[in-house]
A and B are shown apart, each in its own frame.
Chain A
Amino acid sequence: MDMKDFISGANTLGESRTPFIFVIDFELTKPFLCTVRNALKKNIFFKIGKIGNYRKSLKRDQKISLDISPISYKKYKVAFDKVVQQILEGNTYLLNLTFPTEIKTEYRLKEFFHFSRAPYKLFFNEQFIVFSPECFVKTQSDYIYSYPMKGTINAALPDAARLILENKKEEWEHNTIVDLIRNDLALVSKDITVTKFRFLSEIFTSQKNLLQVSSEIRGMLPTNWQETIGEILIKLLPAGSISGAPKQKTLQIIKQVEQTNRGYFSGIFGIFDGENIDSAVTIRFIEKNGDGLQFRSGGGITANSNPLHEYNEMIDKVYVPIR
């Protein structure tokens, strides 16, 4: 399916208010679409907000230990330095730099899917799984909402909430993403408002609990927006929080420094329930790579980023969230 087919297919389902699932890759080259009714037949399991198509996840109380082999710091630093040079030249303000990390484990993809706890989960036909904490967009009565997430801290640190909220570098990066998402929502809706600014939420992982900083941004959609749902989704992509700003120039730089395509990682997936959209950014992502598995992760690079800190953050994000 190419983007043109995706748009017309989504618009048709939107117009007839037929529930469907969508999965779109970062490069916008292999979008996927199927009705909710057909998802199981295509070996797709999901939980998106309150809606899912499988029975309760398996309980698991022990930690899941992963044997991980990230890229070397030396290799990471080469890419990082190129990004910082581009920031100094004014070509980007914020760029999300990501790399794959090989993981070795006794578990299979399906088991990871069932063990993990997250508001947004997807098992995509033995190719990859996602357990994403980050909403991309959702709609409710002709309003569209986005929840960019920028800023993470170990919740166990003393005074963690104050530390992250008062950290200037985190604040500047968050500001940038808020302005970028306001812009993106204005492509498809009007009267853009930041309805919540820098609120905290907690994430439970197998290693530690994290505090994440998010904002809520709202725009007003035209009535009967469901009939153009395909265009609406595509205009918003790739998601600002995992690309950067200014988006177009930043995407060119990502291509140069990451060198491989991201594929479904850092794309989006979601559901149209017949009336509304709920969707997630495809992060916290494990995919099959030949005989092995790889986890993909990264973080936002700005003028104030420290390379070792960013490298460690990329590795810290290689986790499976269990209760």
Chain B
Amino acid sequence: MKTKKIALLDNNDSFTYNIVDYLRRLETIDLRVFKTNKLSIADLKRFDSIIISPGPGLPKDFPVLFSVLEKYHDSKPVLGICLGHQAIGAFYGAKCRPVFPVIHGQAHAVKITKSSRLFDSVPKTFKAGLYHSWAIDRDTVSEELEITAVSESKVIMAVASKKYAVFGIQFHPESYLTENGFTILKNFAEM
């Protein structure tokens, strides 16, 4: 029986269906994909939780993400991946900074610095696939967020709202390169 309805917001990305392929292995999840350029906020009302996909560019290129977060951050679990993570950062007032050299298609060690429901059954340090040329600037992270994981070079790899079930991860749980990626998505899906 399907018990959880999840909306996956696709920012024209080419990794979105890797997320879909993982989540449809969970029999209790009813997943639907929405293209963010055709999304109306009301579509999301009947869903239990929301995942914001990776994507090209910067959060400001996808203004609808801010309306989604404004409307649902305090009532539905939200998981943002890569661009989605940066959108969550920006929603809570943080800024993005360029990463140089850019990191595309590389597996780096990610270290969990603060326990989080998202990382249940995940070891403290694990390898994760990265595709990013921007990152959340540590100096701009507001009081409402906490940093829950960092990379070897101290780049922010995960944030969480202190008050609500809102999670951002910079690495790609859906990547072939990521250990425990399926567990992380499952943890979120079952929240």
Contacts and interface: CB of A to CB of B under 8 A. Distances in A.
Interface size class of A (residues with CB under 8 A): 35 or more
Contacts of B131: 93, 176, 179
Most buried by A among B15, B55, B58: B15
Contacts of B177: 175, 179
Contacts of B54: 246
Contact of A88 (B56, B98, B172, B174): B98
Contacts of A87: 102, 104, 133
| Residue from B14, B106, B133 with most neighbouring chain A CB atoms (10 Å) | B14
B175 A93 contact: no
B106 A89 contact: no
A177 to B, nearest CB: 8
Interface string A137-178: 000000000000000000000000000000000011111101
A68 interface: no
B17 interface: yes
A174 B25 CA distance: 26
B105 interface: yes
Contacts of B57: 89-91, 249
B129 A175 contact: yes
B156 to A, nearest CB: 16
Nearest to A197: B176
Contact of A249 (B18, B56, B176): B56
Interface string B14-26: 1111101100110
B40 interface: no
Contacts of B55: 246
Interface string A67-90: 000000000000000000001111
Given A191-B25, A194-B176, A303 B104 contact: yes
A183 B55 CA distance: 13
Given A88-B133, A303-B101, A184 B17 contact: yes
Contacts of B190: none
A186 B14 contact: no
A304 interface: yes
A51 interface: no
Interface in B145-191: 172, 174-177
29 contacts: A87-B104, A88-B133, A93-B105, A172-B104, A174-B105, A175-B106, A175-B107, A175-B175, A179-B15, A179-B129, A179-B172, A182-B18, A183-B14, A183-B17, A183-B18, A186-B17, A186-B18, A186-B20, A187-B17, A190-B24, A197-B176, A245-B15, A246-B12, A246-B15, A246-B56, A248-B12, A248-B14, A302-B104, A303-B102
Interface of B: 12-18, 20-21, 24-25, 54-58, 98, 100-102, 104-107, 129, 131-134, 172, 174-177
Nearest 3 pairs of A and B residues by beta carbon: A186-B17, A176-B105, A172-B105
